[in-house]
Amino acid sequence: MSKKVTKRNDKYKPTTVAWRFYVVLGVILFVYSGLMARSAYIQVIEPDMLKEQGDMRSLRTAFKTVQRGSILDRNGDELAVSVPVETIWADPKIVMQNKALEMKEHWQALADVLDQDVNDLTSRVLRHPTKRFVYIERQVSPAMANYVRQLKIPGIHLRKESKRFYPAGEISAHLVGFTNVDDKGIEGVERVYDQLLTGTDGKQQYRKDAKGRKIEIVKVEDATPPKNLQLSIDQRIQALAYKELKGAVKAFKATSGSVIVTNVNTGEILAIVNSPSYNPNNRRNTAIHRFRNRAITDFYEPGSTMKPLTILSALEFGSANTDTIVNTSPGYMRLGGRRVSDPRNYGKQSLTDILVNSSNMGTTKLALELPKEFYLDKFFEAGFGEDTGTGLIGESSGIMHDRNRWSQIELATLSYGMGVAATPLQLARFYSAIANGGIKRSLSILKATPENSQFNKAERIFSKENSKLVSNMLEQVVNHHVEAAVVDGYRVGGKTGTAFKAMAGSYGNDYVGLFAGFAPITKPELSVVVVINEPSGDMYHGGEVAAPVFSRVMKGALHLLNIAPDKLENEVKVTHVQKNEDDDNA
For strands 78-90 and 134-140, give the pairing: antiparallel
Cis preceding linkage at 520, omega within 30: yes
User: Residue 417 CB: number of other CB atoms within 10 A?
Assistant: 28
CB 562 within 8 A of CB 341: no
Q: Any idea what the Cα angle at residue 398 is, between residues 395 and 403, rounded to 5°?
A: 140
State whether residue 106 is helix, strand or coil: helix
* Nearby residues of 332 by Cβ (< 8 Å), 6 or more positions away: 339, 340, 341, 342, 361
Q: What are phi and psi of 99, to 5 degrees?
A: 50, 40
Q: Any idea what the Cα angle at residue 423 is, between residues 427 and 453, rounded to 5°?
A: 65
Q: DSSP character for 211?
A: T
Q: Is 304 a catalytic residue?
A: yes
CB 191 within 8 A of CB 175: no
Would you call 129 exposed, middle or buried from its count of C-beta atoms within 10 A (0-12, 13-18, 19+)?
Answer: exposed
Which helix (H) or strand (E) is 60 found in, with range?
strand 59-64
Q: Which of 70, 82, 172, 304 is catalytic?
A: 304
CA distance 412 to 366: 9
CA distance 166 to 172: 9
* Nearby residues of 10 by Cβ (< 8 Å), 6 or more positions away: none
Which helix (H) or strand (E) is 574 found in, with range?
none
Q: Which residues of 273-284 are buried (b: 16+ CB within 10 A; e: fewer)?
A: bbbbbbebeeee
* Nearby residues of 323 by Cβ (< 8 Å), 6 or more positions away: none
CA distances from 153 to 40, 106, 378 (A): 47, 7, 72
Q: DSSP character for 313?
A: H
- What number of residues does the chain have? 586
CA distance 168 to 555: 22
Q: Which active-site residues does the annotation give?
A: 304
